[in-house]
Structure 1
Amino acid sequence: MRWILLRGLAREQAHWGAFRQQLATAFPGHQFHTADLPGTGVHFKEASPTTIADIRACVQRQVQHIPRPYGLIALSLGGMVALDWAQQAQEGEIQQLVLINTSSGFSPPWQRMKPTAWPQLLRLLVRRELFHRESDILALSSNRPVAVQTAKQWYSIQRQRPVTATNALRQIAAAARFRPASRRPLPDALLLASQQDRLVDWRCSRALERRWQWTLKVHPDAGHDLPLDDADWVIRQLRGFCLE
C-alpha cells in the first residue's frame, strides 16, 4: 500500500519529524509519502485556498505521479482534506483512511476549536519572535514536556519555509466552513483522538464514528499532535486496524 501523510494547520511535512521513518520501520511492506498543503512546506510561497476542496485538489496534483490506490493518514486540518478526498475519489482510489484529531461541520464550533484555544492561537499567529512562537505552538499542541531539540527543529523549519499569518488565516477559514457530504466514503475508517487535546474536542471524532459506524480509538492523555506525543500508540492502532 502507498500511503499519503498530511499535516494540519500551518504545518508541513517536516513537522512529522521521525514519525514517517517509524512507520516505514514498523511496516516495511508499505510506502509512506508526504505532501504539503498549499501555503506550507515546498509550497510556502503559494496562497492557500480558502476551501478544503481547493486545498484537496492542490494536494492531488502533488501526488499524481504516485501510483494508486492510496491510504491516507492525516492530522487535524489534513484530516478534513483527506475526508473530502475520500468522498470525491474515484472508486478504489482511496482504500484506507486514518484521521487523527480532526473535525468537521458535523460538530459544533466550540468542539471544532475549543474556546480556550482561540486567544492563544491568535496570539501565536502574530508573534514575531520565531523560536518562542514555535516553542509555544509545541506547548499548545503537545501534552509532553517540550524538547529543546524539537523546538529548534520547528524553528528551523519556519525560518526556511515560513508560513505567513495570512495563509494560516486562510486555512482557518477553509476549515471553519468545511462540512463533508452525507455519503460515507468507506465502509470503515480509523479515527484516532486524544481525550486531552487542548485544541480540538475528541468528540468531533466520536461524531464521525457515530454517523458512519467507523472505528474510534481514544488516547487518554496525549495532546493534539498525537504522533509526536505517542507514535508507538498510533502505530499499534494502525497495526490492529489496517496494517496487520
Structure 2
Amino acid sequence: MANWIFLRGLTRESRHWGDLPVFWTRHGLGQPLLIDLPGNGQARSQPVPATVRGMADAVRQAAHASGTRGPWHILAMSLGAMVATDWAQTRPEDVAGLVLVNTSMRPFSRPTQRLRPQSWAAIAGMAHHWHDRARCERTIHRLTCERLDTRDADLARWVEIGESAPVTRDAAWRQLLAAARFRARPTAPACPTLIVSSDVDRLVDPQCSARLAAAWHAAHLGLARHPWAGHDLPHDDPAWLCETVGAFVRSA
C-alpha cells in the first residue's frame, strides 16, 4: 500500500483536515502522514522560510524523520500543493504520486486568478483583526466552504485550533509572500499527478487548475472537477475526494 503525506495550505494545520483522514482509511487508501508547514500546527515554532523551496526542504526532513519510508504519494492543497510540486520537481526520487487540490502557481495563472479580487478586502480585514480568531475563522469559512450544515461546529473547532496553536501574523505574511513568488518548472512532475479543482472556489479561480493541467499535458496527468464544493474541498466533500483519488490510483 502506498505511503501518503497530507499537506494543508496557508496558515492551516493537520487538524483542519477534519474527517478526511478517517474517510481516507475507510476507502482503503491507508493511514496518511500529516505534516504541518513551518509556522503552522506542530511546526509553528519553526522559522517560516521565505521560499516554497525552503518549505519543501522542511517537509522533506519531517517525512524522513517520521520513520515512514518513501517514495511517498502526496495529497496537498493550495500552498501545500506548491510545496509538493516543488518537492516532486526537485527530488523526483522521493515522490511517487501527486494529488494537487485547488492550487495555483506561476507562470500558469495571473495574480487575479490566483487570489480572486473579491476576496482581497476580506483578507485585509483578517490581517487587521488577526487576534480575533472568531472573526477570522468566520471569514475563512465564508471564503472557503460551501457546505454549511456543520458551520457552527466547524467554527467552534477552528477557533479552538487557532487558540491552542496560534499562527503569528508574521508567519502568515511570510507564507503568503512565498506563495506569491513561487514559480513552478514548466514541465510536469515525473510522477502520476491528479489536479483537482472546485467549480465554486471563491478564493482561487478554478481556471488555475485547468491552465496547470493544460500546460503540463502528459499521459500520466489527470484533471478532476467538483461541481459545488468550495476552496476547502476536503471539508465540503471528503467522500468524493477519496473516491476520485482511489479511482486515479487504480488507473495510474
TM range, normalised to the smaller chain?
A: over 0.9
CA contact (8 A) 1:72 1:97 kept: yes
The match for 1:7 is 8
Residue 203 (structure 2) pairs with residue 199 (structure 1): yes
Structure 1: runs of 5+ lacking an equivalent:
none
Residue 47 (structure 2) pairs with residue 47 (structure 1): yes
> With structure 2 as the length reference, what TM-score do the two structures score?
0.92
For residues 8-67 of structure 1, the C-alpha deviation after alignment (integer angstroms, 9 at most, x for no partner) is: 000000100111111011115x33110000000012123311100001111111110321
The match for 1:103 is 104
How large is the Cα RMSD of the aligned pairs? 1.4
1:133 to 129, 132, 136: 136
CA apart distance, 1:131: 1.9
The match for 1:228 is 235
> With structure 1 as the length reference, what TM-score do the two structures score?
0.95
Structure 2: runs of 5+ lacking an equivalent:
none
Give the 3 Å change call, closer, same or farther, for CA 11–243 of structure 1 in structure 2.
farther
The match for 1:156 is 160
CA contact (8 A) 1:27 1:243 kept: no
CA contact (8 A) 2:194 2:223 kept: yes
Residue 143 (structure 2) pairs with residue 143 (structure 1): no
CA contact (8 A) 2:81 2:101 kept: yes
1:181 to 182, 185, 201: 185
CA contact (8 A) 1:8 1:78 kept: yes
Give the distance between the partners of 1:183 and 1:27, measured in 2 at CA.
Answer: 31
Question: Percent sequence identity over matched residues?
Answer: 37
The match for 1:94 is 95
The match for 1:67 is 69
CA apart distance, 1:186: 2.2
For the residue of structure 1 that corresponds to 2:32, the secondary structure is strand
- Number of matched residues? 242
The match for 2:80 is 78
Q: Which residue identity is paired with 1:170?
A: R
For the residue of structure 2 that corresponds to 1:131, the secondary structure is helix
